[in-house]
């Protein structure tokens, strides 16, 4: 979604854009990167929990709480700026299409030049 929004933004006419969108997309990209790193860290933490420390155990719950606490600010970034993706999509739908149907060459008769012998 982010890559699509970034691409759409590059092709939108200036009158349909907001100055805040590029910065908002950057915030979202950075937040997603942090969330991806925290997810990898969580998987590693979960794998290192003592045997028997599954969901519901004190060790698991404490580790999960710590993980969630680290994620909240990045999730908040998405809550605050995620709407920009939808706004860019809406603007892209309003924009005049840059892609026009290609003009096909005029059809020529099969008899014009080809297949005529000695004429």
Query: What is the distance of C-alpha 66 from the center of its chain?
Result: 28
Asked if residues 24 and 84 have their Cβ atoms less than 8 Å apart, the reply is yes
Query: What is the distance of C-alpha 44 from the center of its chain?
Result: 26
Largest CA distance in the chain: 96
Flag whether pLDDT at 116 surpasses 90: no
More confident residue, 116 or 68: 68
pLDDT tens for 10-35 read 999 999 999 999 999 999 999 999 99
pLDDT tens for 48-69 read 999 999 999 999 999 999 999 9
The reply to whether the predicted model has a pTM over 0.85 is no
The angle, 0 to 180 degrees and rounded to 10, between the axes of the packed helices 83-94 and 21-48 is 140
Structure confidence at residue 5 (pLDDT): 95
């Amino acid at each position: 979604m982010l890559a699509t929004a970034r691409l759409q933004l590059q092709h939108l006419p200036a009158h349909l854009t907001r100055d805040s969108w590029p910065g908002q997309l950057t915030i979202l990209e950075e937040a997603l990167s942090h969330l991806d790193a925290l997810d990898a860290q969580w998987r590693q933490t979960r794998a290192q929990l003592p045997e028997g420390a599954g969901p519901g155990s004190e060790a698991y719950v404490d580790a999960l709480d710590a993980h969630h606490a680290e994620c909240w600010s990045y999730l908040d970034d998405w809550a605050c700026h995620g709407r920009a993706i939808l706004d860019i999509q809406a603007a892209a739908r309003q924009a005049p299409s840059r892609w026009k149907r290609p003009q096909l060459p005029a059809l020529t008769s099969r008899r014009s030049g080809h297949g005529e012998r000695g004429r």
